[in-house]
């Protein structure tokens, strides 16, 4: 999450995150504080996560039953031959020229969109395709970033490997098949949120939801997801639980990028793992009790009526108040945060225990 703190207690999350396949790198930008004196700090933090797969359980995975209509067309970038991948809902501009791979990217984005909609079924469609940029090399990506992101380019260029999302388009460069699919599916959710949500959900939750889509597998040419599987996040979560390093939920819910500055890579990995764990908790924890609340929250974000948020945003420059997160969650989950935290902690411990047990069984 890339955030600019512009006034006291108010955050403008201007973009999202970046990552690589494995290990996973993230960009965190903090913060322009207007009190007591203006400061601008640029921070890049590295964190580990997964885009690596655990043993696969295809029967539990969902995804499209048929191939999407994907067209790979000629394009030019900087005078060089390039490609444009056109699907029903996306246009991916690419300097990668492997047509088979680009066909897969098109299938991935359409499949991911269906997964986003499965998670947020009451969010209305939009009638414009979403734009994505996928570069073959980092220098191309950097060149594009300089041209397209203005004063913010200096921020994005701090990314060591990975991608970012600005407004409702994302930019990535090739990180190998698995890493690129992971980035695209993750950034695609930020893009989906930016396009469809008129009010912002808490950034930690958006981050966690985006992490749900990272583990992409393939059944032939069709992408597959199991929102309960993310080996890298689970590994980081396990380390945090076993090391006693979990953040209190009350802190986590109001966190944004700037607040993980200066922490160790392990602590940043913990932040992401907990975001992922919370999104997964809402999706499947307590027997699925909170899934309707999550979906109601996303619907309200889309129609601009999100409880406790500011006015609907007209563009990506919306401000977000970290203090809105706690009452917002308590409203939708119909419980106080302390009670939610107890359930959340129990859920995380269950995940870790199951992972340990599975390891014991596999190890004989």
Under the binding rule (CB under 5 A), the answer on residue 210 touching Zn ion is yes
Q: Which of 16, 134, 318, 328 binds Zn ion (CB under 5 A)?
A: 16
Count Cβ atoms within 10 A of the Cβ of residue 117 and give its class: 0-12 exposed, 13-18 middle, 19 or more buried: middle
Q: Which of 15, 17, 21, 260 binds Zn ion (CB under 5 A)?
A: 17
Q: CA 232, 234, 235, 241: dihedral to nearest 10 degrees? A: 150
Cross-strand bridge partners of residue 134: 94, 172
Cross-strand bridge partners of residue 359: none
**Residue nearer to Zn ion on the CB measure, 103 or 207:** 207
E strands in the chain: 2-7, 10-15, 25-27, 32-33, 39-40, 44-46, 71-77, 80-86, 90-94, 130-135, 164-166, 169-173, 216-219, 222-225
We find the least distance from the C-beta atom of residue 231 to Zn ion, in angstroms, to be 18
**Interstrand relation of 130-135 and 164-166 (parallel, antiparallel or unpaired):** unpaired
We find the least distance from the C-beta atom of residue 85 to Zn ion, in angstroms, to be 22
We find the least distance from the C-beta atom of residue 200 to Zn ion, in angstroms, to be 14
The DSSP element (H or E) to which 28 belongs, if any, is none
**Residue nearer to Zn ion on the CB measure, 17 or 255:** 17
Residue nearest to Zn ion (CB): 17
Binding segment for Zn ion (CB under 5 A), chosen from 151-159, 210-218, 236-244, 271-279, is 210-218
Task: Find out whether 16 and 164 touch, Cβ atoms under 8 Å.
Answer: yes
Binding segment for Zn ion (CB under 5 A), chosen from 14-22, 135-143, 151-159, 319-327, is 14-22
Chain positions 256 to 295 lying near Zn ion, rule: CB under 5 A, are: none
**Residue nearer to Zn ion on the CB measure, 210 or 247:** 210
Binding segment for Zn ion (CB under 5 A), chosen from 8-16, 257-265, 302-310, 340-348, is 8-16
Binding segment for Zn ion (CB under 5 A), chosen from 69-77, 166-174, 202-210, 220-228, is 202-210
**Residue nearer to Zn ion on the CB measure, 213 or 290:** 213
**Residue nearer to Zn ion on the CB measure, 256 or 326:** 256
**Residue nearer to Zn ion on the CB measure, 83 or 256:** 256
Of residues 210, 207, 266, the one with CA closest to residue 236: 266
**Residue nearer to Zn ion on the CB measure, 77 or 133:** 133
**Interstrand relation of 130-135 and 169-173 (parallel, antiparallel or unpaired):** parallel
Of residues 224, 355, 213, 349, the one with CA closest to residue 285: 349
Tell me the residue length of the chain. Answer: 364
**Residue nearer to Zn ion on the CB measure, 111 or 163:** 163
Binding segment for Zn ion (CB under 5 A), chosen from 16-24, 82-90, 256-264, 335-343, is 16-24
Q: How many residues bind Zn ion (CB under 5 A)?
A: 4
We find the least distance from the C-beta atom of residue 211 to Zn ion, in angstroms, to be 7
We find the least distance from the C-beta atom of residue 210 to Zn ion, in angstroms, to be 4
Of residues 325, 19, 313, the one with CA closest to residue 165: 19
Cβ count near 330 (within 10 Å): 18
33: three-class secondary structure by DSSP: strand
Under the binding rule (CB under 5 A), the answer on residue 112 touching Zn ion is no
Task: Find out whether 185 and 112 touch, Cβ atoms under 8 Å.
Answer: yes
Rule CB under 5 A: which residues touch Zn ion? 16-17, 207, 210
């Amino acid at each position: 999450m890339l955030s600019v703190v512009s006034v006291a207690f108010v955050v403008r999350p201007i973009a999202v995150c970046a990552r690589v396949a494995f290990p996973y790198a993230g960009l965190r930008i903090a913060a322009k504080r207007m009190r007591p004196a203006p400061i601008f700090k640029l921070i890049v933090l590295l964190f580990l996560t997964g885009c690596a797969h655990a043993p696969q359980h295809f029967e539990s995975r969902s995804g499209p039953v048929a191939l999407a209509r994907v067209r790979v067309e000629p394009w030019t970038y900087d005078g060089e031959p390039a490609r444009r991948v056109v699907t029903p809902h996306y246009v991916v501009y690419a300097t990668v020229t492997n047509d088979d791979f680009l066909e897969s990217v098109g299938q991935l984005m359409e499949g991911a969109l269906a997964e986003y909609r499965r998670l947020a079924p009451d969010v209305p469609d939009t009638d414009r395709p979403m734009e994505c940029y996928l570069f073959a090399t980092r220098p191309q990506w950097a060149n594009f970033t300089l041209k397209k992101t203005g004063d913010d380019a200096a921020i994005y260029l701090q990314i060591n490997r990975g991608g970012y999302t600005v407004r409702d388009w994302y930019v990535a460069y090739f990180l190998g098949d698995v890493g690129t699919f992971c980035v695209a599916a993750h950034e695609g959710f930020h893009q989906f949120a930016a396009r469809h949500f008129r009010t912002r959900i808490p950034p930690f939750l958006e981050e966690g939801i985006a992490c749900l889509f990272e583990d992409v597998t393939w059944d032939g040419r069709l992408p597959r997801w199991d929102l309960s599987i993310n080996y890298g996040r689970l590994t980081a979560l396990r380390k945090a639980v076993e090391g006693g390093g979990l953040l209190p939920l009350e802190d986590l819910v109001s966190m944004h990028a700037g607040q993980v500055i200066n922490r160790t890579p392990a602590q940043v990995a913990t932040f992401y793992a907990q975001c992922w764990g919370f999104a997964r908790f809402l999706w499947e924890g307590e027997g699925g009790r909170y899934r309707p609340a999550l979906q109601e929250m996303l619907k309200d974000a889309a129609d601009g009526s999100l409880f406790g948020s500011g006015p609907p945003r007209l563009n990506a420059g919306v401000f977000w108040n970290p203090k809105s997160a706690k009452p917002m969650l308590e409203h939708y989950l119909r419980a106080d945060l302390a009670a939610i935290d107890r359930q959340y902690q129990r859920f995380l411990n269950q995940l870790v225990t199951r992972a340990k047990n599975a390891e014991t069984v596999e190890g004989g």
